[in-house]
Structure formats: structure tokens, C-alpha cells
Structure 1
Amino acid sequence: MSEKKDYLSQQAYELYDSTSMPFTNQFISHFALGDSLIKKIGTHQSFGALHFWTASELVILGMMDTKLPFFKDALNVFIHHQQHFLVRNSGGLAVASNEGVLNFSLILPEDPLVKMSITEGYEFMLRLIRQTFKAYGKKIDAYEIEESYCPGDFDLSIDGKKFAGIAQRRLKKGVAIMIYLSVTGSQDKRTEMIRDFYQVGLANETVKWHFPKVNPAVMANLDELLETPLTVDGVKQRILETLTTNGCLLSDGHYDLELKEDYKLAYQKMIERNEQMLAETFDEELSR
């Protein structure tokens, strides 16, 4: 029987970064490429992938957000703040992303003989983030911050303030453990905007779905929590250095024909989903 792997040690990874990808779109491309990479890693099984990206003024909605009773009215909050918005192809609720937020996926092959549990997937990312910032001497906790946006069991926090959220996406034999890290910028503005979105979208109505009562006081940036200047690029390099120190072999990713064809299909699916979910509010600029 196969033994379970420690994917943070002595593993091979291909590196994919939005700053060097051959696709000009800086919105839908990130999600289409992510799905394409999960399929690639699941097919080949001999290596993993690291996917880094940032987006300018983008709110990433979950499918459940579209069930708000006044969803279309709530979207006007983002329009007022000059934010782009789209509905992602994985679970969860709304998160805000801009140049101060690093999005990162650890994409792993799943051995069909030794299944990786949902919790195990989350714990790989938790361990990686803890190792990356260990030198600062701050305890990083993992539990649900109920009044944050997109709350979940593996919200990452320091001193009770959330700076990151983790999600997963699985396609066939590939697993993506995805995290957003609020590194720098105005986390209060991000949080207040998402709070207002839910207030408008609910308008005090009672619904069967649970939406968070977002409180800006329970979220913060890493630079604030670690009490040190940080940049998105700097955090990215720290993550890569942690993996290298653990004996992982990192190489540049290849955008071969198979990946590009899968990307085209995933890209079109994202457009179709958003045209359906957002109707006349779908911003055509997102697909250019």
C-alpha cells in the first residue's frame, strides 16, 4: 500500500505566476488557469504546482451569495466602490482582492490508493503558512472567525484577527488548496465594503442560508499583525524559500498545448457561469 506523502518536503513543484502567464486577462484567467492546473497535476501525478496571483479591485463571490434576496441591489455596493466582481467556480462566500492580497494555490496529485481528506489538505496549507512566518514569533491559529467575511473552520488569525482564509477544489485526481492572504493595504475598507454588500443584500430579511454579520474589527493585514513592513512579492518569496528549505525542487511551469486547451474550456465555462449568475450586471471587461 502507498504511504501518505508530506507534500511540504522533498517534492517537485512547477511554478505558475500571474506576472508571467501568457494570458492577458487578469480576472477570469486566474480561475481558468487554476482549474487547468488541477487537471494537469491530477493527470500526470509526478509533481505538484504552485499558483500565485493578484487581482486589481476584484470582489470574488461564491455561489451562495447569488441567493441573497436583494442580490442585484447589493452588487451596486461594488459598483459604487469601482470594484469588478465575478462568481467563482468553488464554494464559499464573498472575498475582496486587490494589489495588497496574495492568492496562492498548492496544487497536489491525489494518490487514488491513499485519499487525502479535506482536513489533511487544509493542514498542509496551515503548516506551510506557520513555517513561513515562524521567525516572527506570533502564534497563527486556525478556527472560524464568525464575523469575518467568508468564515470557515480554517480561517487563519493572529490574536483573534483573521488575515487569511483557505478553501479547496478537487477535480478528478487533483487537489487545490487555495488561500488568500491579506498582506497590506486597507483591510478595513475591504471589510466594510463586504459588510455593506450583505446589509443591502439581506435588507433585514430572514433567509434559510447563513450570511456573516461582517465586523471590520475581527480582520487585519499580516503587516499589521506581524508589526513589520511586508509586500505581496516579499510574502511570495518567503513561501518559496520555505519550500526550498524543506528540500522541495521548484521549476518554472510549462504552458504546453494540453494546458492551453484545458484553459480555453475552463475560461469559457467561467464566462458562461457569470453570464448566467450576473445577467445584465456581468462586466464584459472581465472577459477581455
Structure 2
Amino acid sequence: MHAPSILSQSQWRVIDQTTLGPSFEAKQSFAIDDALCDSVGQGHSSPVARTWVHHDTVILGIQDTRLPHLQNGLNYLEEQKCHYIVRNSGGLAVPLDEGVLNISLIFPEAENGISINTGYEAMTDFIKKMLVPYHLNIEAREIATSYCPGSYDLSVNGRKFAGISQRRLRHGVAVQVYLCIDGTGAGRARLIKDFYERALQGEQTKFAYPHIVPENMVSLAEITGEDLDVSKVMALFYMTLRELGQITPSQLNLEEVQSLSNYYDRMVKRNEKVFG
């Protein structure tokens, strides 16, 4: 199955949560994607494209919670006025702020299934289509010296501006990307580098945490030299999605709100378990 075929849908539900402001917290986001995965996977909803922004938040992966001096790292994040949560999917620490646009594309895992690579390639294709006006030579490959490195890091000239992850639940597939739109990529990378330095304190660990080179992270505004922000890129998001199917602006329906409360409780419990 070629990736664009899962991007082309007769109907896309769009849930735009980019303007909810600082009180919208990240535990809610991961619970919302789980509720939507459930709904789409059970056939109760058409595929969903959800956009979201969180302010001054570091999303930790499960491996990050095993850092030998985690509390020192968390104290540092608090000093930097950052919230932090641990997510329910793989990957490592990622900083989010009002200059980072997150997009989730949520598909039903059809009878023939959506392979992991198909999911990643679909999001890669979507971002490339979205950014066509900027004529960028975007590569999908691991940037090992970035934060949260993965084989589908999106970069231009070896400098990463986006990372893709996936979550699978109840026959639904959520493919998530964070896009650094404005601000400095190196500034965000430095925050995570400093977090790891404090949480590792030079100790050898079985798991290899990334050796971050801040200059290898970049924002789209830095790459393009354009005055970009989330709202400008959202216009491109809508234009691109319209080419792939009919779009319907939407909110969570009653059934999804009910299942959201269960998934949110799970996120709260997971975080209480880790952070007490």
C-alpha cells in the first residue's frame, strides 16, 4: 500500500486545538488522541486530523523516567518554568511551546492493516506537501544528535525541525508530528541537553540517551528566513488537507468525551506513579 492512499480520505474531521492557551495541558492531549484512536478504530468516526499547541512543557518518554538523577533534571525544568509529563508512547524528551505545532493524523487500521512504516511515510508525505511553497529539500532520516532521535526525523541540510511518533490503540493508528515553527531550534535543544546533563551526571547507563548538539536542531522560520508562526502554517495545513478529502471542523462527540475521561485518568495515574 502506498502512503498517499491512506492520506486520501473521503472525509477528514478536523479538531483544531492550537489556540486553547496555557491552561490546556499535555496529559489531556495524549488522552484525546487515545479517545480518538478508539473512536476511529471502532468505526464510530471518520479519520481525524487534530492540531494542538502546548505552552512551556517538556514531554518525557518512559526511558527518561529511568534516568539515574531524574529529580535533578526535573528540578531544572521547574527552574526554567516548564511543566513536564510522561507520555504513554515511546520516544524521549521533547520540548513544546507556543512556537511548536503538533499534528495528529488518526486512521482506522483497515483489514489489511497499516504498517508502522506506512504510518510514518504518510505523515512525511503530508508535511512535504504542506511545505511545498518553501521549496525545501526535506529528508526523513535519523538525526542522532537531536533530541528524541528517530528514523523519521525531518531535516533540511542535516538540521532537524520535526519528529514523528505513532500510537496504536483499539484498531486506531495515531501518527503524531511536532513541527518547530518559530523561535530557535538550538534554544529548545539546549533545554533538553541541560536536562539530560543534570539527570545523568556523567553516569553510564544501559540505555544510550542522545548526545545533543543544539546547532543540529532548527525551526522552519530559521530554515526559510520567513516570518512564520503557527497560524500561518495552519493555513497551509488546511489547504493540504482539503486536497486529500472533504474536511469538517469538529469537536469531540459525547461518546468520545466519555472515553476521554477514562484515558485521562490513566495518564494522571501514570504520571502520579512516576512523579509521586
TM-score bin, normalised by smaller chain: over 0.9
Secondary structure, in 3 states, of the residue corresponding to 2:239?
helix
For residues 23-42 of structure 1, what are the structure 2 equivalents within 5 Å?
A: 25-42=24-41
For residues 79-158 of structure 1, what are the structure 2 equivalents within 5 Å?
A: 79-111=78-110, 113-158=111-156
Per-residue CA deviations over 1:219-272 (Å, capped at 9, x if unaligned) read 0001111221211111122022112123x1110224222101111001111110
Decide whether the 8 Å contact of 1:147 with 1:212 is kept in 2. Answer: yes
The equivalent of 2:272 in structure 1 is 275
Secondary structure, in 3 states, of the residue corresponding to 2:8?
coil
Q: 1:20 deviation in Å?
A: 7.1
In the superposition, relative to structure 1, how do residues 154 and 3 fare at CA in structure 2: closer, same or farther (>3 Å)? Answer: closer
In the superposition, relative to structure 1, how do residues 66 and 234 fare at CA in structure 2: closer, same or farther (>3 Å)? Answer: same
Secondary structure, in 3 states, of the residue corresponding to 2:133?
helix
- Aligned CA-pair RMSD: 1.8
Decide whether the 8 Å contact of 2:17 with 2:51 is kept in 1. Answer: yes
The equivalent of 1:14 in structure 2 is 13
Alignment gaps of 5+ in structure 2: none
Counterpart of 1:171, as a letter, is L
Counterpart of 1:153, as a letter, is S
2:9 and 2:84 map into 1 onto residues whose CA distance is: 38
Q: Are 1:77 and 2:83 matched, yes or no?
A: no
Counterpart of 1:170, as a letter, is R
In the superposition, relative to structure 1, how do residues 35 and 235 fare at CA in structure 2: closer, same or farther (>3 Å)? Answer: same
In the superposition, relative to structure 1, how do residues 17 and 3 fare at CA in structure 2: closer, same or farther (>3 Å)? Answer: closer
1:20 and 1:149 map into 2 onto residues whose CA distance is: 26
2:24 and 2:137 map into 1 onto residues whose CA distance is: 37
The equivalent of 1:259 in structure 2 is 256
The equivalent of 2:188 in structure 1 is 190
1:94 and 1:107 map into 2 onto residues whose CA distance is: 22
1:270 and 1:125 map into 2 onto residues whose CA distance is: 25
In the superposition, relative to structure 1, how do residues 3 and 99 fare at CA in structure 2: closer, same or farther (>3 Å)? Answer: closer
Secondary structure, in 3 states, of the residue corresponding to 1:166?
strand
Q: Are 1:229 and 2:227 matched, yes or no?
A: yes
2:222 and 2:18 map into 1 onto residues whose CA distance is: 26
1:100 and 1:243 map into 2 onto residues whose CA distance is: 21
- Aligned length in residues: 274
TM-score (norm 1): 0.91
Decide whether the 8 Å contact of 1:148 with 1:212 is kept in 2. Answer: yes
Q: 1:46 deviation in Å?
A: 6.0
Match of 2:168 among 148, 167, 170: 170
In the superposition, relative to structure 1, how do residues 225 and 25 fare at CA in structure 2: closer, same or farther (>3 Å)? Answer: closer
Decide whether the 8 Å contact of 2:146 with 2:160 is kept in 1. Answer: yes
Displacement over 6 Å in runs of 4+: 2-5
1:233 and 1:199 map into 2 onto residues whose CA distance is: 34
Q: Are 1:207 and 2:199 matched, yes or no?
A: no
Secondary structure, in 3 states, of the residue corresponding to 1:6?
helix
Q: 1:169 deviation in Å?
A: 0.2
